[in-house]
Amino acid sequence: MSQSGTSAPRAGSVKQITSHSNPLVKEIKGLIAQRKHRTQSGLFVAEGLKLATDAMGAGWTVRYLVLGPEAKDNPVAQKAAATAKARGAMILEVNTAILSAMTRKDNPQMVVGVYEQQTVPLSSVTAAGATVWIALDRVRDPGNLGTIIRTADAAGASGVILVGDCTDPFAVETVRATMGSLFHVPLVKCSQEAFLAFARNWPGTVVGTHLEGSVDYRAATYPEPVLLTMGNEQHGLGPDIAAACRTLIRIPQAGQADSLNLAVATGIALYEIRRPHLEL
Ligand code: SAM
């Protein structure tokens, strides 16, 4: 996976922070609040001990691990801090007021991590060994994206491709919604143009989900590897991407809803495609 980020700060140290105006407090606040800061630094924030354990277990680079007072008596948090420090991270010990202000939460998690972003270049995505990659056309909602990444992980998809102007996968709401799956699912970002060229050369089936699709998703066949494309929440699948699909499938609906939520539709289609590979 490619990595990006600013040059590392003094590594492997422990620092106590007691002032709200400490530059590191401001930096972490900026990473939480603004995409611009995340893009410029190549860093992002994930809240919680579980995510810290997931991230380090999956080999992601942790820059800072912020520990609130409760972490002192928590053996799992202490172990995470020792691992992070051994890998060169800076451990920041803060009080609850600073943790609250940093995360803008009344009841903050006792551990907050700052990690280096990781994405995979489109050129390195191969069909070899894959059953299904998911492509999201201009996904805008952080909760939808996080839920899709989590579902991709659960269903065993090979990864998620973000096509065009998508919401930031490293926004704190997205990361939270992935419940740690962000650290296990390869992510690609690309333009629509690059994606169309990629889809043209895809050796398997390119499937689109579309409200005007004529094929019931349960009746379609899915020769592997599958490239499953999902449309934007407001506008659906763009016409050029729809035209690149071999099949446009539809999920039947009975009630008055215009459409299904994007993440729900992704889950339904994905589980159908992965059906032969999944068992209890
Ligand atoms: N107004 C949009 C439209 O006209 O397509 C609705 C988009 S829907 C909220 C977001 C995406 O979820 C769709 O582009 C499609 O990929 C998928 N989707 C939602 N409901 C679907 C259904 N019943 N059948 C197939 N795909 C569906």
For ligand 1, mutation pick of 258, 259, 262 (most atoms within 8 Å of CB): 259
Q: Can you give the pLDDT at residue 1?
A: 45
Q: Under DSSP, is residue 19 helix (H, G, I), strand (E, B) or coil?
A: coil
Integer Cα distance of 151 and 148 in angstroms: 5
Contact partners, residue 147, CB within 8 Å, separation at least 6 = 177, 178, 263, 267
Query: Which of 131, 146, 126, 2 lies closest to 60 in space, CA to CA?
Result: 2
Whole-number percent of the chain with pLDDT over 70 = 96
With 50 as the cut, is the pLDDT of residue 2 above it? Answer: no
DSSP designation for 236:
B
Query: Which long-range contacts link 32-38 to residues 24+ away (Cβ below 8 Å)?
Result: 32/102, 32/103, 32/104, 32/172, 35/168, 35/171, 38/117, 38/168, 38/170, 38/171
DSSP run (H or E) holding 215? strand 215-216
With 80 as the cut, is the pLDDT of residue 5 above it? Answer: no
pLDDT top residue among 10 and 102: 102
With 60 as the cut, is the pLDDT of residue 57 above it? Answer: yes
Token pair listed for 276: 């032969």
For 60-76, the pLDDT digits (tens) are 999 999 999 999 999 99
Q: Can you give the pLDDT at residue 12?
A: 85
Count, residues in the chain? 280
- The whole-number average pLDDT for the span 84-96 is 96
Atom 4, ligand 1: residue with shortest CA distance: 236
**pLDDT band per the 50, 70, 90 thresholds, residue 122:** very high
- The whole-number average pLDDT for the span 159-173 is 98
For ligand 1, mutation pick of 262, 270, 272 (most atoms within 8 Å of CB): 262
Q: Can you give the pLDDT at residue 48?
A: 96
Whole-number percent of the chain with pLDDT over 90 = 94
Tell me if 236 CB under 6 Å of ligand 1: yes
Q: Under DSSP, is residue 193 helix (H, G, I), strand (E, B) or coil?
A: helix
Tell me if 259 CB under 6 Å of ligand 1: yes
Distance in Å from the first CA to the final CA of the chain: 31
Regarding pTM above 0.90, the answer is yes
Integer Cα distance of 11 and 190 in angstroms: 33
234 CA distance to ligand 1 middle (Å): 9
239 CA distance to ligand 1 middle (Å): 13
Integer Cα distance of 203 and 184 in angstroms: 25
Domains of the chain: 14-116 (3.30.1330.30), 122-278 (3.40.1280.10)
Contact partners, residue 84, CB within 8 Å, separation at least 6 = 52, 56, 62, 65, 91, 113
What are 249's strand-pairing partners? 209, 215
Count Cα neighbours of 255 within 13 Å in the Cβ-side half-sphere: 3
Q: What is the DSSP string of 111-130?
A: EEEEEE-EE--GGG--STT-
For 198-248, the pLDDT digits (tens) are 999 999 999 999 999 989 999 999 999 999 999 999 999 999 999 999 999
With 60 as the cut, is the pLDDT of residue 135 above it? Answer: yes
Mean pLDDT computed over every residue of the chain = 95
**pLDDT band per the 50, 70, 90 thresholds, residue 168:** very high
- The whole-number average pLDDT for the span 133-144 is 98
